[in-house]
Amino acid sequence: METTLRGVGVSHGVAIGEVRHMGTAVLEPPAKQIPAEEAEREQGRARQAVEAVAADLVARGNLAGGEAQHVLEAQAMMAQDPELMADVDRRIAVGSTAERGVYDAFAAYRALLANAGEYLAGRVADLDDVRNRIVARLLGVPMPGVPDSDQPYVLIARDLAPADTALLDPTLVLGFVTEEGGPTSHSAILARALGVPAVVALPGAGEIAEGTVVAVDGSTGEIFVEPSEEKRAEMESASAARKAALSAVTGPGATSDGHKVPLLANVGGPADVPAAVEAGAEGVGLFRTEFLFLDDSKQAPSEEKQIAAYRAVLEAFPEGRVVVRVLDAGADKPLDFLTPADEPNPALGVRGLRSLLDHPDVLRTQLTALSRAAEGLPVYLEVMAPMVADRADAKAFADACREAGLRAKFGAMVEIPSAALRARSILQEVEFLSLGTNDLAQYTFAADRQVGAVSRLQDPWQPALLDLVALSAEAARAEGKSCGVCGEAASDPVLACVLTGLGVTSLSMGAASIPYVRATLAKHTLAQCERAASAARAADSADEARLAAQAVLSGE
């Protein structure tokens, strides 16, 4: 009998197939004592296992490329964390086996983060995955992971670590469903990059029996268990129509009455550029430069290394617009040479621009590298600061850009509610705004963006979040300046129409979402977008806002 479940759709498309479950997690190793003379050998085993797992993660990243590579390299660094390894050694020295020492050290670190309320607790899937891989290697059992199958299937898991998501084979994994996670988790971002339909934050997903046929709609978040033939035909027909519509619309982003809305790509480095170009991106709306810095948490990359990476991206978009975000370190992206190690809540501490202003040499080197990378290129370079709170922040960043001799537009990201509320003041110092809706939602609703339990508050359709977007766009319009969106909200085609109606002047997203957004915008006039935006803001919940906007756009 057909039943319907609903989670959070995070990657467009339809998948219909039999369920396969993720491999079981590693069992807890026995807590047995070893003689003192075996401690050194066990410590050696632990170090070898850690190095092997880190090497495997890096290798997986090299195979995956793009943003996935940066995520997996960061996870490899987590495996080799010196404090964790020191704790493992201490536990083995007092009698633990290598596998038990690793298990307990990771458990203590996990508990420490949770008890301190740290933002890093949101990366618990990453942390658990690293632990499971090390312990599995020490126990000599198969790694937990994606099941082996010769036939295409829908993957169901409690959560997916980046190492698993990055190497999903789209010819076999039709789509995936997870119980945990949120719309801005690593797995969701990588699913969009892969173009795999995905639904997250679906409690009870693990109870769907192996082999059950399900239909997954990655746009609406709906899961149909044992769908009827009529439902399958309906979803397949809708999917085919959607693909036809995508291929029929080409060129720059615009509404049906010609209002231009540039569609840009979010990239993490040169490896992400080919997909953006293929999708018809009109430039880059968010170049996340922090991935370059995560290669070595001990020191900043040299100016020459930065120049090479920046120039590779800039050269791909001649006459196009490339918006670069300077280093956004802190919170879930700590760097030993830059961010404090003892903050009780890094998400609310010295993060982003605050870190850079405390280390002006790092900021100066990056700005100089950007300036040199753009020399002689016909690209429209724009550089923006993350985590701008007020006019003083904006002025400090603009002054640093001028002192570095940077010939580009200077901008500010709107990720903190104070920046949206005082956007017009901030625009006295900078030339554009870019809304990071992921963090803006997190700070507006006090809802960690990686915790599935609060995913409803991370929904970019929340009317309060739309109000802040409108405030920012209105301020930019009043100052004759631009206001784009580079958060995950821009990847939702219907929400893209609403954002356009709110006055947003450009939209930036993962490359795989660009065709969907382009096709949807092309079906509606600017006036329809504005009416949809008004209807969404008048609602009292995210679900009501979504339905109200859809009703306007469908002509109901």
Task: Find the helix or strand (DSSP H, E) in which 3 lies.
Answer: strand 3-6
Q: How many CB atoms lie within 10 A of CB 462?
A: 23
Burial 492-514 (b: 16+ CB within 10 A, else e): bbbbbbbbbbbbbbbbbbbbbbb
* Given 70, 401, 483, 486, the catalytic residue: 486
* Given 186, 359, 483, 529, the catalytic residue: 186
Alpha-carbon distance of 66 to 406, in angstroms, equals 27
- Asked whether 3 and 227 are in contact (CB, 8 A), the reply is no
Alpha-carbon distance of 179 to 452, in angstroms, equals 8
- Asked whether 479 and 427 are in contact (CB, 8 A), the reply is yes
State yes or no: is 259 an active-site residue.
Answer: no
Task: Find the helix or strand (DSSP H, E) in which 275 lies.
Answer: helix 273-278
State yes or no: is 486 an active-site residue.
Answer: yes
Q: Kindly state the tokens that stand for 458.
A: 């991370």
Question: How buried is 147 (Cβ within 10 angstroms: 0-12 exposed, 13-18 middle, 19+ buried)?
Answer: middle
HSE-up (13 A, CA, CB side) for residue 57: 28
Mapping DSSP onto H, E and C, the string for 187-249 reads HHHHHHHHCCCEEECCCCHHHCCCCCEEEEECCCCEEEECCCHHHHHHHHHHHHHHHHHHHHC
> Which of the residues are catalytic?
186, 486
